[in-house]
Amino acid sequence: MKIARFSRIGFILAAAGSAVGLGNIWKFPYITGEYGGGAFVFVYLLTVLFIGFSIMIAEMLIGYIGRKDTVSSFESIAPTHKHLWKYGGFQGLAGLFIMIFYSVVIGWIFHYIITSLSTLPASIKEAESTFNTMLHTDIWTQLFYHSVAFVWITYVLTKGIKGGIEKMNLVLMPALMVILVGMFIYALSLDAFPKAVHFMFAPDWSKINSEAFVVAVGHAFFTLSLGMGAIMTYAASLEKNSNIVKAAFWVVFLDTTIAIVAGLMLFTFLYQYGAGPAKGPGLVFISLPAAFYEMGIIGNAFAVLFFIALAFAGLTSSVSLVEPMVQYFIDRFSWSRLKASILMGLFFYLIGIIALLSNIDGFKEALTWGDKNFFDWVDYFTAAIMLPIGGLIMALFVGFVIDKRKVESILKPQLGFAFEAWYFSLRYITPVAMFIVMLNLLGVF
């Protein structure tokens, strides 16, 4: 089945929308806070350049050559053992599994948009109590917003590449950037901005250890939406003779820039209004609302705008997480887009209800195994196993399976003298880094 083609700007915004997600605006600032600021940012930027960018080009290349869903692309490109290599394309399942809990988190963000219109918590203690009450007791609020996320995402998927995904990203990605830049400009006027800059860019190497290096590698990889088939599926819709390297550069640049801008903005607000930078995963839902409260009435407006930006980032990523499996069922089983979109949507929605319930008092004991509940197990399984394996497969496939002459014919004119350095990194540096990340997340060391 013929795949609809992205326009050039449509592809960049869609791929950037896939990469720019909750990891940029939520996770990057809090892990930067946990690992000491500037030194961690420096390591993170290096890993984005030498690992994330390398695998981004490789994933785009597979999609660009294959021109089909992820499974069919691996199968058609592999010179031998096609029946085995096709299973590499099932990395699209990782995105679908991530959506099980990702949709629930987007629901939390929707809830915070509405609550920010009226009242904000007056202290971190109150903010923590508010968040925990929602998380552990309020089933119906979470279920309602989880349902809203499901309807939105599924609707966009049913409209296809041009009418749904590209159109949504042409609106939401510029809107996201306008909101963040506007809030960043305001942050520039605050007394705490130089302190935020110092925290993010003045390296304190005493804060860096082996764990910080592994976290930087892992986050650089995951925040670019790699290893889940999304970028590959989008690249299958690139126009012929597209410049893969230039497209990859713009996606990585936009993703990293938004992460840095969000970090500077958030740390400025936190320093300005008395909250510290190292607040962990609760930074966005606990520390930040309390900081917004200290701003007075403007704090409500900023809170609403911030959570809208966060929702936009989550929604653009969500569509890309599901699209690979939608395209798979369209190509391999001749399903209509409507049928594939609804069934994939129902998959993450219904299992997402189990993830939601696993945080609720009265259900969590039955849905907890070992030291993690169902929500956390899905998060852990995708991060520790599925995504690193997806990255390893792509690096090995492009680096050792596809004929080098074929890779060279497409990428050397685009990379020039840097081609050999990229090829070496893809074959030897990236696989080792992904293997180390996977072992660390599995608790081997």
User: How confident is the model at residue 325, as a pLDDT?
Assistant: 94
All structural domains of the chain:
8-441 (1.20.1740.10)
User: How confident is the model at residue 1, as a pLDDT?
Assistant: 45
The token pair at 248 is 């990859």
- What pTM, to 2 d.p., does this model score? 0.88
pLDDT tens, residue order, the chain (445 aa): 445 566 667 777 777 777 677 777 777 877 887 787 888 888 888 888 888 889 999 999 999 999 889 999 999 999 999 989 999 989 989 999 999 999 999 999 999 999 998 888 888 889 889 999 999 999 999 999 999 999 999 999 998 876 777 788 788 888 888 888 888 998 999 899 999 898 888 887 877 777 777 777 777 777 788 888 888 988 888 888 889 999 899 888 988 888 888 888 888 888 887 666 655 556 788 878 888 888 888 889 989 988 998 888 888 888 888 999 999 999 999 999 999 999 999 999 999 999 999 999 999 999 999 989 999 999 888 877 888 888 889 999 999 999 999 999 999 999 999 999 999 999 998 888 888 877 876 777 6
